[in-house]
Amino acid sequence: MVTYIIRRLIGAVIMLLIVSMATFAIFFLVPQIAGATPEGMASRYVGRTASAETAKLAAERLGFNDPLIVQYGRFVKGVVAGAEYDYGPGVEKCPAPCLGYSFITRQPVFPDLMNRLPVTFSLAIGAAVIWLLAGVGIGVLSALRRGSFFDRAAMTVALAGVSLPIFFTGLVSLLVFAYGNPFSWAAQGGHYTTFLDSPVQWAYNLILPWVTLAFLFAATYARLTRAGMLETMNEDYIRTARAKGLGERKVIVKHGLRGALTPIITVFGLDFGLLIGGAVLTESAYSLPGLGKYAVDAITNQDLPKVMGVTLLAAVFVVIANLIVDLLYAVVDPRVRLA
């Protein structure tokens, strides 16, 4: 087990290095291939009134004239050992892990990301609880009552959930349940309170985004669970369990659902990892200052170090989520043994 974890961790680090190289190439090599000069790339960091001379100086200062490998080496060195930037009367430090430094907001990226992470995590965790409970519950019931009115109605709603994009359901939910109309009961967009400040206010502000996000995911999970349960409940070991006199609830939960959970855990790991990396549409629709909104704003402002930072962090979460999923397999499914 320990060997397995160490092996997976090494694999994760290699994966992150590859992601960082690919990301770096996309942001710094591709523009050069497309004809961007170092001065042109630097010009977005030197404001609207900059002269060509200022852009040239900035290109030198930012190191855009150096070979790409040198620039990448500098980036990796920053991640490991931190970096320093000379502005005004003092030197600005970007402590390790320096995932980049925004020359537009004059701030290191990593603290920004850590500042945004609780918002995204709050959004993801609440939504995940709702969609798992609702999605798996509805999926199990649908499978057990296959062909019933409930099954058909639930799957129709699930189809709608999968089909409707967040920017639609998000706006409709805000229009119906917020914005001061007679049905309003939920917080409007842009409101966020930390859990530690007030758990009740935290939940109140997030309930609408949670439900909206969960609606999308619960639909997928309901369909997945239903399909898995239908398959599992026809397995021989289920018949055996019933034959040896186990109660129906125990058969369904302990034997049926447990077997059907494996693919759900796989998908959940990926979904949750991706969400932690930034629920872009949900955070944008509800103006929540999380990693997704951060990424969108960075893209709008062409603030490449921020985009790179959030991309790398998202990759970290996906890799970690995958690792946890692999470990969970062994717990959920006794047939799986890690070696």
List, in order, residues 6 or more apart from 43 with CB less than 8 Å away. 50, 55, 58
Told to check if 25 binds another protein by CB under 8 A, we report no
- Give the end-to-end CA distance of the chain in Å, rounded to a whole number: 6
What is the contact mask toward another protein in residues 133 to 172, using x (rule: CB under 8 A)?
A: --------------------------------------x-
Which CA distances in Å does 166 have to 42, 213, 222, 291? Answer: 35, 7, 18, 17
> What is the spatial distance between Cα 119 and Cα 130, in angstroms, rounded to a whole number?
17
DSSP per-residue string spanning 130-151: HHHHHHHHHHHHHHHTTTSHHH
Q: What number of other Cβ atoms are within 10 A of residue 122's Cβ?
A: 22
Closest distance between another protein and the C-beta of residue 278, in Å?
Answer: 14
**Is residue 90 a contact residue for another protein (CB under 8 A)?**
yes
Q: Does 92 bind another protein (CB under 8 A)?
A: yes
C-alpha 327: how far from its chain's center? 20
| 87 DSSP β-pair partners | 90
Count H helices and E strands in the chain, helices first: 15, 4
Specify the residue for token string 């855009």. Answer: 64
What contacts 183, CB < 8 A, 6 or more positions away?
Answer: 176, 177
Q: Answer yes or no: are the C-beta atoms of 10 and 66 closer than 8 Å.
A: no
Give the one residue of 284, 310, 316, 325 binding another protein; rule: CB under 8 A.
284
Asked whether position 118 contacts another protein by CB under 8 A, the answer is: no
> Shortest gap between Cβ of 185 and another protein (angstroms)?
13
Helices 199-232 and 109-144 pack at an angle, to 10 degrees, of 50
Give the one residue of 2, 69, 80, 88 binding another protein; rule: CB under 8 A. Answer: 88
d(CA 198, CA 189) in angstroms, rounded, equals: 18
Between 206 and 318, whose beta carbon lies closer to another protein?
206
Binding of another protein by 193 (CB under 8 A): no
286 binds another protein (CB under 8 A): yes
DSSP three-state, residue 101: strand
Site string for another protein, 28-57 (x = CB under 8 A): -----------------xxxxxxx--x--x
Interacting span for another protein (CB under 8 A) from 139-147, 204-212, 238-246, 291-299: 291-299
Please identify, using beta-carbon distances, which residue of 282 and 311 lies nearer to another protein. 282
Cβ atoms of 224 and 139 within 8 Å: the answer is yes
Q: Contact between 115 and another protein (CB under 8 A)?
A: yes
Is 178 one of the binding residues for another protein (CB under 8 A)? Answer: yes
Closer of 87 and 237 to another protein (Cβ): 87
What's the closest the beta carbon of residue 116 comes to another protein, in angstroms? 8
Closer CB to another protein, residue 234 or residue 287? 287
Lookup: tokens for 283: 């955070």
The pair of structure tokens assigned to 315 is 């990759």
State in angstroms the smallest separation of the CB of 287 from another protein.
4
- Cβ proximity to another protein, 98 vs 178, nearer residue: 178
Q: State the nearest-atom distance from the C-beta of 31 to another protein, in Å.
A: 14
d(CA 58, CA 78): 19
Residue 207 interacting with another protein (CB under 8 A)? no
**How far is 71 from 33, CA to CA, in rounded Å?**
16
The single residue listed with the structure tokens 């900035």 is 58
CB of 175 to another protein, least distance (A): 7
Binding track over 231-270 against another protein, x by CB under 8 A: ----------------------------------------
Contact residues for another protein, defined by CB under 8 A: 45-51, 54, 57-58, 61, 87-90, 92, 105-107, 112, 115, 171, 174-175, 178-180, 188-190, 284-287, 289, 293-294, 297, 300-301
